[in-house]
Amino acid sequence: MSRNCLVIRRLIVLCCMLASLLTLPLCAQQTDLEAKPTQPLVMQPVPAPRPERALDDLQQAYEKEYAFLVAQRSELETRLNEFRSRAARETKQAETDIDALQGAITALQSRGDRLNNLLTEADRNIASIEDNRSSLDATYQQATSTLAQQNFELDLAEFATLDDVIKINNLFDAAITMLAGDSSVSIANGSFYLLDGTEVSGKLLKLGNIAAYGVSAQHSGVLAPAGEGRYKLWREPAADAARALLAGQQPESVPIFLYESLNKPIEESERRGILGTIEDGGTIAWVIVMLGLLALLMVILRSLFLQRASSSTDKVLQETSTELEQGKRDQALLTCQQYGGATGRVMAATIRNLGRNREHVEDIVSEAILHENAHLNRFGAVIMVFAAVAPLLGLLGTVTGMITTFDIITEFGTGDPKLLSGGISIALITTEIGLIVAIPALIFGNLLSGWAENIKDSMEKAALRVINLEQARHG
């Protein structure tokens, strides 16, 4: 591209030179005319142009320029070949250097990976050593605390200066000594607290360090930890067993209370009655109980209604059938009115219309049964509503109690699991009471509904039998 540009520039220069040579005589003549304006204009003969000479000059100039360009091209090609050779040598040397550098980088990376692996392994070893040290320290602390709880004291200042192997040996020796003492039965004088908090003196029978019995002139029985190494009488009566064990005898049954440490007192769980449980459930629990009582009352009343209706059906049918067979329709109608009730009213409506055609009488029977439907289904829907609402109220009470429990957690934290479990237990009381009310109400509600349907069927069958008897009597 650069060579072409150079050739074009040289051709343009040559053309310009040729144009200047052709216009030079004209410019000279014009200059002479301007210098002599006063002289009369004399036309000079213009020499005829010689194009052959101009073409020769142009050809010679072009040949010179072409020769120069060829020389330039040859020189440039020579320089280009030298440059290519040098570039090839430099490229080859650069590739060799790059390969050498890549090999060095690969070696360094391998070495770095090995060092990283060694460093990672060292970190793991250090972490393992620290974990082992932490485990050993925790083991030492737990062991010394356990031994202290069992009244086996160690010199902690001297113990801290010992080697780990010696520490472990000393702890095992102390544990073996403690276990030897705990595996024996001992009798000693001591004191313990009664159920009312009174401290009394007497004999203590210790089964190692896991159970104890107390015998005194006032009370005897199984002992439980009262805190700070003291004992208290457990609420379960076991006076005879304690005295028999102290005398070396074998009682028929041996009640026992196993404990882990005497430093933490054992709190007896409060025994709540029915009213106490309902009281813990709060207002919603009392509402559920009231619904349960109302449902129970309605179940009893509906049972009485249905019992009266079902018992009179057979009697009314038997007496009216006999009287109709004898042709005493008025007496049969009077009998139905005397019995009354749903069955009596349906049978009276049937007997009163026996003179009509059968289809009309059957329609009258169906209408009479529909009139008695409200009486037979009395309280049924209310009982089922109570059965459905009771568990929902229980769930409402539980959700309310859980919200209160979480409010306590937000205020005081989760440091006392007993407080949280107690709150959750109280929250679940309403659900328990709701289910206790709902399950029997649902069962009895469905049973009574089925009983009412059976009574309706019985009344319909009795009415149809009366119709059939009347038609059979009239042939």
- Residue recorded with tokens 């019992």: 307
Degrees, nearest 5: CA angle 158-230-199: 145
Q: What number of other Cβ atoms are within 10 A of residue 452's Cβ? A: 23
Q: What is the pLDDT of residues 394-406, one digit of tens each?
A: 999 888 888 877 8
What does the alpha-carbon distance between residue 415 and residue 435 come to, in Å, rounded to a whole number? 32
pLDDT confidence of residue 298: 92
Q: What is the mean pLDDT of residues 468-472?
A: 72
* pLDDT greater at residue 423 or residue 194: 194
* pLDDT greater at residue 215 or residue 163: 215
What does the alpha-carbon distance between residue 225 and residue 234 come to, in Å, rounded to a whole number? 9
What predicted TM-score, i.e. pTM, was given to this entire model? 0.47
Q: Any residues with CB less than 8 A from the CB of 216 and at least 6 apart, and which?
A: 192, 200, 201, 202, 203
pLDDT tier at 270 (50, 70, 90 boundaries)? low
Query: Residue 290 to residues 88, 283, 428, 472: CA-CA distances in angstroms?
Result: 106, 11, 18, 55
Q: Which of 112-121, 177-186, 219-228, 325-334 has the highest mean pLDDT?
A: 112-121
Q: Which of 7-16, 56-65, 412-421 has the highest mean pLDDT?
A: 56-65
Q: What is the mean pLDDT of residues 60-84?
A: 86
Alpha helices for 50-205 (secondary structure H): 51-149, 156-160, 164-182
pLDDT confidence of residue 182: 63
DSSP β-ladder status, 185-193 and 199-207: antiparallel
CA torsion angle for 82, 85, 91, 95 (degrees, to 10)? -150
* H or E, element range at 47: none
Q: What number of other Cβ atoms are within 10 A of residue 430's Cβ? A: 30
* pLDDT greater at residue 188 or residue 110: 110
Q: What is the pLDDT of residues 220-254, one digit of tens each?
A: 888 888 877 778 877 777 777 777 777 777 777 77
Q: Any residues with CB less than 8 A from the CB of 62 and at least 6 apart, and which?
A: 14
Mean residue pLDDT of the chain comes to 77
pLDDT confidence of residue 296: 93
Q: Does residue 18 surpass a pLDDT of 60?
A: no
pLDDT confidence of residue 32: 45
What does the alpha-carbon distance between residue 450 and residue 442 come to, in Å, rounded to a whole number? 12
pLDDT tier at 347 (50, 70, 90 boundaries)? confident
Nearest Cα to Cα of residue 468 among 354, 314, 339, 299? 354
Q: What are the two backbone dihedrals, phi and then psi, of residue 172, each rounded to the nearest 5 degrees?
A: -65, -40
Percentage with pLDDT > 90 across the chain: 9
What does the alpha-carbon distance between residue 144 and residue 137 come to, in Å, rounded to a whole number? 11
Q: What is the pLDDT of residues 120-160, one digit of tens each?
A: 888 888 888 888 878 877 787 777 777 666 666 666 666 67
pLDDT confidence of residue 437: 92
Q: Does residue 354 surpass a pLDDT of 90?
A: no
* Structure-block tokens of residue 230: 């003291």
What does the alpha-carbon distance between residue 380 and residue 448 come to, in Å, rounded to a whole number? 8
What does the alpha-carbon distance between residue 401 and residue 395 come to, in Å, rounded to a whole number? 10
Contact predicate 225/265, CB 8 Å: yes
Q: Does residue 297 surpass a pLDDT of 90?
A: yes
